[in-house]
Structure 1
Amino acid sequence: MLRKLAIRNAKRSIKDYLIYLITVIMSFSLIIAFNLIVYSKDVRELSSMMINFRLAVIEVSVLVVFVIGWLINYTMKFMLSKRSKEFGTYMILGIERKDIIKMFLIENIFLGIFAFVVSMLIGYILSDLLTAVIMNIFEVQYKLNFSISWQPFALSIFYFIIIYLFVMFRTNRRMKKMKVYDLLYLDKQNEERVFKNSKKKKILFVVFLIIGITALTLLKVGLYHVDDNGSIPMIVRGVPMLIISIYGITITVGDFIVDFVINRKKIKYKNDNLFITRQFTSKIKTMGVTLGTLSLLITLSFLSLAGSMMYTDMFNAQIKSIAAYDVMISEVYSDYPEILQIQTQNNKQIVEKYEKYIKSHCTIKDRIEYNIYTNKRDDISKNISDSIMGFINVDCYMKLSDYNKLLEKRGLKPITLGKNEFFIHENRDISKSIDKYLKNNSTLNLNGIELKSKGHTYENFARCWGTGMTFFIIVPDDTVSNMKILDRFIMINIAEPTTEKLYDDICKYVENTMTDDKEKSEFYPYNLSIKGEVISENRSVLTIFSFILLYIAFIFTAIVATILAIQTLSDSTKYKYHYSILSKLGVEQSQIYKTIRKQLLIFFLFPVIYPIIIDISVITSLNGLLNPALSSEYSYLYAILYSLSLFLFIYLIYFIATYFGYKKNIIE
C-alpha cells in the first residue's frame, strides 16, 4: 500500500515541481555530458594539455554536486513543509513514523532515478554537441562517435548516489525528530530570522554596506597591483568580506524598503504599492539566508560568464600577438639584469640546431633575422609609470628596415622615417604613458644625435618581436651603429602547417644531439616558439576555462531561478485568498495580473541587484590586470554586457514559466 501511495505521490510531485525536475535533469545532463567529453579519446588527442581538462571538470563537478545537493535538499525540505499536514494526518490515523519516512524517501528516490535516467539520454546527446564545438575550436573535422565508455557513467552514478545519500540522511534525521504537532504546523514556520530588531538591522545594513565597499576596494587594488607582495593578502581578505556583505545586505535591506515606502504617502497609497511592498518584505524577512545564498550563486554566475568572455577574447588576441609567424627563435646577447638568462641554453649552438632541423624537415618561405638594441640611457623607461607584470622595462631599439620587414610579413603597411626621426610601437597598456611622455619630450638624444618624434601606435603590436619587451623605438638604420645588441631574433614562415608535433620533434632532436648530461637535464626550449604549438596550447586553455565557467554559470543560474520559482508557485495557493479579496473589492482582472507581474518581477530581481554591482566592479578591476592581453581596451565592457544578457535570458525563461504557473494557480 505504501509503495503504491509513494508512486502516486511521486507522479503528483512531477506535476507540482516540474520546474525543479527540469533543472535537476539539465544539471545531471551537463554533469554526464562533461564526464563523457573528458573521457573522450578524440578530445584528449587534440592537445597534450587537454589531459588537464579532465582534472578541471572533476574538481569543478565537486562544487556543482554540492550545489545540486543543496537544491535537492532544499526542495525536499520544502516539499516536507507543504505536505506536513498530510503526514501528520497519517500519524493520527495510526501509520508508523518509519513507514511515513520510508514512503516519502521512496517517492523522492523515484523522482531522482527518473531524472537521472532522462538526463543520461540528454547528456549523451549534449556531449556530442559540445564535442563538436570543441573540435570546431581546434579546427578539426568531427564525426559522430557512438562508442560508450563506462567510466563517465560510473562517475556520474557515483555523484548521484553521493547526493541522494546525503539528502536522504538529512531528511530521515529531520523527520525522525518531528512529532504530530510539528508536522501539523510545519507549513506555518518560516526561516529563522537572523536579526529580529528592526533598528539594529538598519544599523547593520550600513555596516554591511561599508564592508562590501571595502571588499570591492581591496579586490580592485589587489587585482590592479597583482605583482606586488601585498596584493594577494588584499584579495584573500576581500573575498570573505564580500561574501559577508552579500548575506548581510540581503538579510537587513527589507526594513529599509518598508520604511522608504511606508513613510512616503505619495508612494505608499499609489496604485498597488502598499500591497506589493507588504507581500515582498514579508517574504524577504522570512527567507533572508536563502536569498543571500541565491545572491552569492548569482554573483558566481555573473563572474563566470564575464570571465569566460574575457578569457576567450584574451586567448584569441594572444595568438595574433605571440604567434604572428610560423617559427620564432630568440638568442639573448645582453647581460642586462632584468633579462632572465639560462647560460646552458642561450647560445648559438642550440639556435643553429633549431634551424638545422627546420631546414631539413620543412619548406622555408621566408626568414627574417634582426637584432634588438639597447642604449646606455633608458630615458623613456624611467619616465613611464605603467608596468606590466613579467615585462622588461628598458628602452629597446629596432632598425627601420627590420621593423618594415616584420610588418610586411604580417601583411601590414610599412612606415617611413626621416634621417632624424623616430617612431614608437608600444603595448596598449602603456600607450597613454607614451603619449604623455612624447607631449613633454618630442625629441630623443642618441649618442649626440637628436631625433624628433614622428608619433606612436599600439595597434598590431606583436609580443613575439621581442619577448618581454614593452615597447620598441624604431630608428633609422645607421643610428644603432654604436648601440649594444640586447637580443637576436629569427622569424621563419614555412609552407607546411605548423603543429604541436613539430615543436615536440624539434625539442627531441636538440635534446638527443646534446652530449653534455647536465645541459640535457636543464634543457628547456623557452627561446623557441612554434605557431601551431602556441595555438594548440591557447585553444586548450581557452576550452578548459570557457567550458568550465559556462558550466558553472548555467547550473548556478538554473538553480537560483528554480528555488525562486518553487517558492513563488507554492505561495500562489496562500496568496489566492488575497487576490480574491482584491477581486471582490472591484479590482479588474487585468490589474490583478499586472500586480502579479510586478510582485514576481520584484522578487526575482531582488537577489540580482547587488550581484550586478559586484560584477561590474570586479570585472572592471580584473580589466586592470588583463587589459594588456585583451583585443580591445573595451573588451571588459562587452564581457559585462555578455554576462548580464545571457544570465537574464535564462532567468527570463524561468520567470515567464513561473508567471504563467502562478496565474494559473490563482485562477484555479
Structure 2
Amino acid sequence: MTLFELALKNIRRNMKSYGLYIGSTIFSIIIYFTFAMLKHSDDISGLAETSKQMQAVMSASAFVLMIFVAIFILYSNSFFMKKRKKEVALYSLLGVRKRSIGFLLFFENIVIGLVALVVGVGLGFLLSQALLSLLLKLMGLSLSVGFAFSMQAVIETVIVFFLIFLVTSLLGYRVIYKFKLIDLFHAEKQGEAQPKARVVSAIIGVIALAAAYWLALQDLMTSSVWRIFGLAMPLVIIGLTVLGSYLLFSSVLVYVLNLLKKRKSWAWKGLNLMTSSQLLYRIRGNAKTLTIIATLSATTITAGGAIFGTYYNTEKSVEENIPFSFMWEGEEQDIDTEIVEDAVSFEAKDIVVPGETYDQSYYVIDEETFMKLTEALGWDVGNVDLEQDEAVMIDPYFDERWKDKVDTVEIDDDEKTVDQFYEKPLFNAPTLPGTVLVVDDASFQELDGENAIYQAVQTANYKDHLELSKELEAKTERFSSAVQSYQDSIEASGAMLFVGSFLGLVFLVATGSIIFFKMMTEAEEDKDKYAVLYKIGVSKKEMKKTIRYQVGLIFLAPLMLGLTHGTVALMAFSNLLQMNLWEPVIIWMAAYTMIYILYYVITVRGFNKTITQTVTQEG
C-alpha cells in the first residue's frame, strides 16, 4: 500500500475526526469564493459609477478576507494536528520513517484541501447567486440577475487556497521533526501551569480599559489628546483595549475562580470544584483565546453596528439635508399637479460679507419667501415680522465646537441683529449650500448681490419619482432631488451593509468556531475524567450541568466584554457623526448575541455527546 493510498484510507476511516477541520475549510472557501464571484460579477460591473465603488469595496474586503481565512484555517489545522500527534507517535513506534510519516500527513492535508475546494466552489457558486440578489435589493436596484459563472473567481480562489493548503501541509510535515516521541504521545495531556491571581495585573488591566474607553469617547474635533497622538490614536486605543482585556481575563478570572474555590458552600456543591479547577488549570491558554474572541466580537459589533446604523438612518439623513423633493435654478417646469403638495418660486441673492479672518457668503431671501418655504416644510416659526435692523439666520452646518453663533451681520454698512437662529436646512444643499439670511422686504429690494430665480417643489412619496427627477435634471441647472440623493445613498450604504454583514458573519462564525474547537479539544482531554466520575456515582445530569457552566463561562466572558467594547466604540462613532444610532445598534447587538447563543448550544451538545459516548462505553 502506497502512502497516498494510506492517506485516503485514513481520511475515510477517521471522517468523524476530520469532519470539524473539513467543515471549517469548506466554510472558508465558500465565503472567499462568494466574494470573488461578486467582485467579478458582470451585474455589478454594469452599474457605472456604482461599479467603481463596489469594485473598490469588494477588492479591499477580499484582501481582508484572504488574510482572515488563512489565519482561521491555520488555527483549525493546529487543533486538528494536536489530535493526530498520538497517531503520528504510533507510526514512529512501529518503525515508519519520519520522512514517510511527513509525506503521509502532507498527502492527507492536500487531499482534504482538494475535496474542500471542489465542494466549497460548488456551494459558493450557488450562494453567490442568492447573495447577489440580496446585494442589489439592499442597494435599491431592481435589476434581473443572470446565472453567471466567473472563471477568474475560480482561478483566484484556487491560487489563494492552494497556497494556504501548501503552508498547512508543510506545517504538518514539520510536526514529526519538531517533537520528541514522548511529547507526541502526551500532546493531548499537556496543559498550562495553574496561574496565580495577581492584583497588580488586574489593576493594570482595569486602568488600561478605562484609559482606552476615555480616549475613545474624546471629541475628535476639540480633544487635546487627539492633537497629541494624531493618526496613532486608534492604534493606542486598540492596544490598550487588547492589553486590558488580556489582563482582565488572566487576572480577574483567576481571582474569581480562586475565591469561589475557597468558599466551601459553593466548592463542595456538585462538581463545582472540578469545574473551577479545570478552568484554572487552563486559564492561561483560555485567556489568550478569550482575548482574541473579545477583540473579534468588538470589531464585528462596532463595524456592523456603525454600517447598519448608517443604512438604517439613510432616509432620515436624506430628508434632513434635502428637505424639498426637487429644487433647481431657473423657471418653473411642467409637473403633474396631482403629485405636487407645495411649489414655491422665489428669488435669492448671493452676497459676500467681508470679515476679519475670512469673507462669509450668504444667500439672502425676504420674509415672504421665508414664510412660504417654512410652511411648505411644516416649520412652526410663528408670525415673523422683521424690522429693518433685524434678520433671521439659517445655518444647517452650525457646530458650536468650531464657531460661536452670530449675533449681528453687517450688510452694505447696515448692521442687522440676528433675531432668530435655525440649525436645520431651508434649502437643498446641492442647489443652495451655505448659510441663509432672511431680511425684511424693503432691505431685500435695496440689497446688491447676484440675483437668481429658484424653484422648490414638494411632492407626495418622493421616493416614487426617480424618472421625473431624471427628466427635470436634464432640463434645469443646479438641480437637486431627494429621490436621487436617497438612491445614491442607499446604493452606497447598502453595498457597505452587505459587505459589513458578510464579514461580520464570518468573524462571528470564526469566534464561535474557535471556542467550539477549544471546548471539543478539552472534551477529548476530559472524557476519561468524566468516565471515572460516572463510575464513582456522579449522575449524567450532574455532569451535563457542570459542562453547561464551564462552557457558559468561556462563551459569556468574551461576549460581555466584546459588547462593552462595541458599545463604547459606537458611542464614539455616534458622537462623531452627530447621529442617534442606538436603535439600529441594539438590533445589531441582539442579532449577534442570538447567533452567539446558538453556538453555545451547539458546543454544549457536542461536549455532552463526547462525554456521554465515553461514559456509556466504559460504564
TM-score class, shorter: 0.7 to 0.9
- 1:653 paired with 2:598, answer yes
Tell me, in whole angstroms, the C-alpha distance in 1 between the residues paired with 2:274 and 2:529. Answer: 10
Out of 203, 206, 209, which is 1:206 matched to? 203
Amino acid at match of 1:401: E
Tell me, in whole angstroms, the C-alpha distance in 1 between the residues paired with 2:347 and 2:374. Answer: 13
Give yes or no for contact 1:17–1:566 (8 Å, CA) kept in 2: no
Distance 1:27 1:74, change over 3 A: closer
Out of 454, 457, 470, which is 1:490 matched to? 454
Tell me, in whole angstroms, the C-alpha distance in 2 between the residues paired with 1:17 and 1:279. Answer: 26
Amino acid at match of 2:243: I
Corresponding residue of 1:253: 252
Out of 491, 508, 519, which is 1:540 matched to? 491
Amino acid at match of 2:454: I
- Cα distance, 1:49 vs structure 2: 3.2
Tell me, in whole angstroms, the C-alpha distance in 2 between the residues paired with 1:106 and 1:360. Answer: 74
- 1:419 paired with 2:364, answer no
Give yes or no for contact 2:466–2:483 (8 Å, CA) kept in 1: no
Distance 1:303 1:420, change over 3 A: same
Give yes or no for contact 1:497–1:532 (8 Å, CA) kept in 2: no
Which secondary structure does the structure 1 equivalent of 2:454 belong to? strand
Larger displacement relative to structure 2 (541-550 or 615-624): 541-550
Which secondary structure does the structure 1 equivalent of 2:385 belong to? coil
- Cα distance, 1:617 vs structure 2: 0.7
Can you list the C-alpha shifts for 1:35-79, whole angstroms capped at 9, x where unaligned? 222222222223403223223222222222222222221222222
- Cα distance, 1:647 vs structure 2: 1.6
Larger displacement relative to structure 2 (122-131 or 226-235): 226-235
Which secondary structure does the structure 2 equivalent of 1:620 belong to? helix
Amino acid at match of 1:95: V
Give yes or no for contact 1:46–1:138 (8 Å, CA) kept in 2: no
Amino acid at match of 1:467: P
When normalised by structure 1's length, the TM-score is 0.76
Distance 1:460 1:28, change over 3 A: farther
Distance 1:369 1:450, change over 3 A: closer
- Cα distance, 1:91 vs structure 2: 0.9
Out of 563, 571, 580, which is 2:514 matched to? 563
Aligned pairs for 1:33-182 within 5 A: 33-182=34-183
- Cα distance, 1:641 vs structure 2: 1.5
- Cα distance, 1:565 vs structure 2: 0.8
Corresponding residue of 1:217: 214
Aligned pairs for 1:334-413 within 5 A: 368-371=345-348, 399-407=366-374, 412=378
- Cα distance, 1:566 vs structure 2: 1.5
Corresponding residue of 2:617: none
Give yes or no for contact 1:226–1:625 (8 Å, CA) kept in 2: no
Larger displacement relative to structure 2 (242-251 or 559-568): 242-251
Amino acid at match of 2:348: N
Amino acid at match of 1:76: N
- Cα distance, 1:369 vs structure 2: 3.7
Can you list the C-alpha shifts for 1:565-587, whole angstroms capped at 9, x where unaligned? 11212222332333344445544
Larger displacement relative to structure 2 (593-602 or 443-452): 443-452
Out of 519, 533, 550, which is 1:599 matched to? 550
- Count of residues in correspondence between the two structures: 594
Out of 554, 568, 572, which is 1:617 matched to? 568
Can you list the C-alpha shifts for 1:253-312, whole angstroms capped at 9, x where unaligned? 332223332344444445543332222232332343333222222221111221221221
- Cα distance, 1:157 vs structure 2: 1.6
Tell me, in whole angstroms, the C-alpha distance in 2 between the residues paired with 1:151 and 1:545. Answer: 23
Give yes or no for contact 2:79–2:521 (8 Å, CA) kept in 1: no
Distance 1:553 1:641, change over 3 A: same
Can you list the C-alpha shifts for 1:630-651, whole angstroms capped at 9, x where unaligned? 4xx3xx2224313322222222
Can you list the C-alpha shifts for 1:379-418, whole angstroms capped at 9, x where unaligned? xxxxxxxxxxxxx9999875443344445656x4775414
Which secondary structure does the structure 1 equivalent of 2:348 belong to? strand
Tell me, in whole angstroms, the C-alpha distance in 2 between the residues paired with 1:463 and 1:498. Answer: 20
Amino acid at match of 1:652: I
Tell me, in whole angstroms, the C-alpha distance in 2 between the residues paired with 1:325 and 1:284. Answer: 60
Which secondary structure does the structure 1 equivalent of 2:467 belong to? coil
Give yes or no for contact 1:569–1:661 (8 Å, CA) kept in 2: yes
Backbone CA RMSD of aligned residues? 4.4
Tell me, in whole angstroms, the C-alpha distance in 1 between the residues paired with 2:73 and 2:34. Answer: 20
Give yes or no for contact 1:373–1:480 (8 Å, CA) kept in 2: no
Percent identical across equivalent pairs?
Answer: 18
Which secondary structure does the structure 2 equivalent of 1:615 belong to? helix
- Cα distance, 1:182 vs structure 2: 2.8
User: Gaps spanning 5+ residues in structure 2: where?
Assistant: 460-464, 614-619
Tell me, in whole angstroms, the C-alpha distance in 1 between the residues paired with 2:245 and 2:451. Answer: 51
Amino acid at match of 1:118: V
